[in-house]
Amino acid sequence: MLVGCGEWGFREMPMEKHFEICRDFGFHWMEFGIGGGQTGRLPENPSQQDIDAFRELGQRFSIETPFCCLENDFTLSDAAAHREMVDATLAGIRAGKECGATHIRLFAGFTPVDQMDEVIWQRMIDAFAQSDDLCGEFGMQIAIETHGAIQFDEQGNALHSHTASTHPDGIRRLLNELPTRIGFNYDPGNLKPLAEGDPKLRLDLIDPRINYCHLKDWRRSGDGWLACAIGDDDLDYGPIFTEMSFDGVYLIEYEPLEDPLDGIRRSLDYLRRTVDVVDLGS
């Protein structure tokens, strides 16, 4: 199994620290982000200097960065805001290409699926088609993350609700209406709070279209959930790995900020107990 490191748990660290941590663990592949205003991401409109500095870090630390996340929402209800979002996403794809990305991780959006009317659906589908056209020119692939809408209660617990990329009917519609080049970032951890009796966590629906994968778990806390490492709770990845057709790089995405190094280490320990070979590419 090829394993790399996701970027979200690094969101409050300078970019150089991401590379240092990945090098120290022995990772050869690392995910990075553009936009969203996070300290640990490139700015929404990175300058050539920003891009050159980022690529220099990859060379210095001998780490490849083919996986790029953008901050987008293609389900905005306001038409003008939607157009601005599409333009910003296309600009982000161009920047990701300049940074060396081959895969762009996008979101369908964060509007609960039961609040999406036909106008919003069609705008979302069209936005993905435009994004895919550009990615096709660059030889890049889109991966839609299986991600719900999340709100937080007063205790900081995450309350998940279905979006187009988590509800079974929404996923089926995406599969039917999107260009076939567009794939999915399969995140079983994100789907666990919304499983609703589906032990396969949507794998039977999207397995042929998975071109990106995040590894994490969520554990129950009060009326909501807290993100945790694989192996910290009860999500059994063994059967998932056995049934998945995906043969790319699996990305550990440890989200909590208080102990990212230990969370990555626990995740690697779990993987080494679960699969025969964990290849960090170093």
Q: What is the pLDDT of residue 160?
A: 97
In a domain, 11, yes or no: yes
Cβ neighbours of residue 199 closer than 8 Å, sequence gap 6 or more: none
| 3-state SS, residue 64 | strand
* For range 119-133, the mean pLDDT: 98
pLDDT band, very low/low/confident/very high, at 51 (cuts 50, 70, 90)? very high
Q: Count CB-CB contacts under 10 A for residue 261.
A: 12
Number of domains within the chain: 1
In a domain, 248, yes or no: yes
User: What is the rounded distance in angstroms from the CA atom of residue 122 to the CA atom of residue 144?
Assistant: 16
In a domain, 119, yes or no: yes
End-to-end C-alpha distance for the chain, whole angstroms: 13
Which range of residues forms the domain containing residue 60?
2-274
pLDDT band, very low/low/confident/very high, at 151 (cuts 50, 70, 90)? very high
Q: What is the pLDDT of residues 9-41, one digit of tens each?
A: 999 999 999 999 999 999 999 999 999 999 999
Q: What CATH number does the domain containing 246 carry?
A: 3.20.20.150
Q: What is the pLDDT of residue 80?
A: 98
| 3-state SS, residue 69 | strand
In a domain, 258, yes or no: yes
Comparing C-alpha atoms, which of 223, 226, 227, 281 is closest to residue 254?
A: 227
User: What is the rounded distance in angstroms from the CA atom of residue 54 to the CA atom of residue 78?
Assistant: 34
User: What is the rounded distance in angstroms from the CA atom of residue 274 to the CA atom of residue 271?
Assistant: 5
Among residues of the chain, what percentage have pLDDT more than 70? 100
User: What is the rounded distance in angstroms from the CA atom of residue 21 to the CA atom of residue 54?
Assistant: 15
Q: Which amino acid appears at position 185 of this protein?
A: N
In a domain, 282, yes or no: no
The structure's pTM equals 0.97
* For range 261-269, the mean pLDDT: 98
* For range 108-133, the mean pLDDT: 98
Q: What is the pLDDT of residue 282?
A: 72
Q: Which whole-number Å values give the CA distances from 53 to 93, 97, 179, 228, in the listed order?
A: 18, 15, 34, 32
In a domain, 279, yes or no: no
* For range 228-235, the mean pLDDT: 98
Q: Where do we find the tokens 């032990």? A: 199
In a domain, 201, yes or no: yes
In a domain, 10, yes or no: yes
* For range 57-70, the mean pLDDT: 98
pLDDT band, very low/low/confident/very high, at 77 (cuts 50, 70, 90)? very high
